[in-house]
Amino acid sequence: KEAETQQKLANVVILATGGTIAGAGASAANSATYQAAKLGVDKLIAGVPELADLANVRGEQVMQIASESITNVDLLKLAKRVSELADSNDVDGIVITHGTDTLEETAYFLNLVEKTEKPIVVVGSMRPGTAMSADGMLNLYNAVAVASDKQSRGKGVLVTMNDEIQSGRDVSKSVNIKTEAFKSAWGPMGMVVEGKSYWFRLPAKRHTTLSEFDIKQISSLPQVDIAYSYGNVSDTAYKALAQSGAKAIIHAGTGNGSVSSRVVPALQELHKNGVQIIRSSHVNQGGFVLRNAEQPDDKYDWVVAHDLNPQKARILAMVAMTKTQDSKELQRIFWEY
Ligand SMILES: NC(=O)C[C@H](N)C(=O)O
């Protein structure tokens, strides 16, 4: 009987990378003061025995770090392992446990480069497992539920936090401390409640199998950096980033991705020297940057990130620049993904 149920259940692999979901604090009252990336994947799985009701689950520790320390090399390593597993006949779905600080970047990266319809779900927690009302157990349970559900196939990389199913493209950490941290300007795709998914919308942007990018063809990522804008900003950071080798600079602009008159000349100069300038917005609840609004992008040959926040724009620019250095092509890619 047991063997029969095992056969019917989906095979889900949990790839653990660290983060608060694997964190531990000194006491149950420590919901914000703790060390991330302490618990191994076997302990995470053992902590939620109910996972066995949802799927045949096995774990792999890909790395053990807080997500603010993830590098491009780590990102490639993780994505390549996801791709190998997705190609394997005995894997139906993949869950990635991840710190929440850069979870949105990893989820978007995988959404762009993984050539599979199999569900890939990225999940984290806002409180360590040792804290009162820890959110990691339920988030992980929900992630495995979504990853083992056939309905989740072909919907792009997903994120399950706080009972919501979010698109890995759209979702962003919008609040810290609170468990309702992950929001998307375009709303969640669905809900997951007591192990069952309820879907309401689909992503309109190209992803996974419909993406022109493939992790199997990517062995390194170009240097793309972000410069933050504010009143009284100078061009120092932009120039320094270019000097350190940035192939593109994401302008984390005010409002509509506006650029201070003190910075415009430097950006024109940097672009003449081959650095792509990509205008995004750092407003909190979803920027919306349009070409030639605020700045004459056609004239300067700059690119706009549209609704992508600066950190997501960096991910797309890196992926796009593995294939093209042409600003028109980059702009097409920014509209389509
Ligand atoms: N809630 C978290 O996971 C935060 C942690 N700093 C991380 O990203 O690894």
- Whether 3 has a pLDDT exceeding 90, the answer reads no
- Averaged pLDDT score across all residues of the chain: 97
Q: How far is the CA of 100 from the centre of ligand 1 (A)?
A: 5
- Whether 2 has a pLDDT exceeding 80, the answer reads no
pLDDT value of position 116: 98
Which DSSP string corresponds to 266-277? HHHHHHHTT-EE
Distance of CA 144 to the CA centre of its chain: 18
Distance of CA 157 to the CA centre of its chain: 9
From the list 81, 74, 66, 192, the residue with the least C-alpha distance to 125 is: 66
Compute the chain's Rg from CA coordinates: 20
Closest ligand 1 atom, residue 176 Cα: 1
Quick check: is 208 catalytic? Answer: no
Instruction: Calculate mean pLDDT across residues 298-321.
Output: 98
136-192 per-position pLDDT tens digit:
999 999 999 999 999 999 999 999 999 999 999 999 999 999 999 999 999 999 999
Pocket of ligand 1 (CB under 6 A): 19-20, 36, 66-68, 99-101, 124, 126
From the list 84, 75, 83, 166, the residue with the least C-alpha distance to 123 is: 166
Instruction: Calculate mean pLDDT across residues 229-242.
Output: 98
Q: How far is the CA of 98 from the centre of ligand 1 (A)?
A: 8
pLDDT value of position 97: 98
More confident call, 57 vs 5: 57
pLDDT value of position 189: 98
Instruction: Calculate mean pLDDT across residues 215-221.
Output: 98
59-73 per-position pLDDT tens digit:
999 999 999 999 999
pLDDT band at 255 (very low <50, low <70, confident <90, very high): very high
Of the residues 20, 100, 116, 160, which is catalytic?
A: 20
**CB-CB neighbours of 228 under 10 Å:** 13
Contacts 24+ apart (CB under 8 A), 195-200: 195/53, 195/54, 195/141, 195/142, 195/145, 196/145, 197/145, 197/146, 197/149, 197/151, 197/152, 197/165, 199/151, 199/155, 199/165
Instruction: Calculate mean pLDDT across residues 92-102.
Output: 98
15-29 per-position pLDDT tens digit:
999 999 999 999 999
Looking at this protein, which amino acid is placed at residue 59? G
Compute the 3-state secondary structure of the chain and give helix, strand, coil in percent, each to the nearest 5: 35, 20, 45
Burial of 241 by CB count in 10 Å (0-12 exposed, 13-18 middle, 19+ buried)? buried
From the list 140, 137, 126, the residue with the least C-alpha distance to 177 is: 126
Is 21 strand, coil or helix?
Answer: helix
Q: How far is the CA of 263 from the centre of ligand 1 (A)?
A: 33
